[in-house]
Amino acid sequence: MTATSDPPDTGRTPSDTRARVLDAAERLVQVRGFNGFSYADVAGEVGVTKASLHYHFPSKAELGEALIARYAERFTRALASIDERTTGAPAKLDAYAGLYIDVLREERMCLCGMFAAEYQTLPTAIRDAVLCFLDDNEAWLERVLEQGRADGSLRFGGSAKETARSILSGLEGAMLLARPYGDVRRFETGAARLLTSLAGLA
């Protein structure tokens, strides 16, 4: 962006417009995928010109990085909230699955899951951000699993790291398969079976 760039959006502050652009782009990624929309689509939804859009995000790659950064920040806050208000490991895992359910109820997919589906077509910076998001989720799940194994509330074979990967893969996969049916219950049933088996109650 140069000093002669046009103002982003008459009557709105740059931060307001930026947030609205991110909101629209996030929904488009969660519904269509990153490669399934253009700047024209975003500009049309937000009600700004493409020039205004480029003022905030000169390239689509930069828009993608900003989307993941914001999504990861929200997810991190959600995980911290689970840790603060939930004590038992099984309850924490249930609350974690609930984050996916909330997204499905809005007829969307996990943002980073959608990016992961298009991984080979993405710029390197976005690939790295997707991997960081997934790694952070696995690390949180690993800590919860270790807590549950230590206090006896969870029982599983193998390492906590391997089991964390299985949970993340299972939930992302269940979300993907629930999507064409438009059936949140399908996801809820799969997630419940997965987590119940960890508690040794299946």
| Superfamily of segment(s) 1-58 | Homeodomain-like (1.10.10.60)
Task: Tell me the CATH number of domain 67-198, given options 3.30.70.360, 1.20.120.530, 3.40.50.1980, 1.10.357.10.
Answer: 1.10.357.10
- Where are the domain boundaries for CATH 1.10.10.60 in the chain? 1-58
**Confidence class for position 16, pLDDT limits 50, 70, 90:** confident
Q: SS3 for 27-59, per residue?
A: HHHHHHCHHHCCHHHHHHHHCCCHHHHHHHCCC
- In this model, does residue 89 exceed pLDDT 80? yes
**Confidence class for position 202, pLDDT limits 50, 70, 90:** very low
Residues 15-24: what's their mean pLDDT?
Answer: 92
Q: Dump pLDDT digits (tens) for 98-122.
A: 999 999 999 999 999 999 999 999 9
Token representation of residue 133: 């998001």
| pTM, entire model | 0.87
State how far the Cα of 170 lies from the Cα of 93, in Å rounded to an integer: 13
DSSP string, the chain: --TTPPPSSTTS-HHHHHHHHHHHHHHHHHHH-GGG--HHHHHHHHT--HHHHHHH-SSHHHHHHHHHHHHHHHHHHHHHHHHHH--SHHHHHHHHHHHHHHHHHTT---HHHHHHHTGGGS-HHHHHHHHHHHHHHHHHHHHHHHHHHHHTS---SS-HHHHHHHHHHHHHHHHHHHTTTT-HHHHHHHHHHHHHHHTT--
- Where are the domain boundaries for CATH 1.10.357.10 in the chain? 67-198
- In this model, does residue 189 exceed pLDDT 90? yes
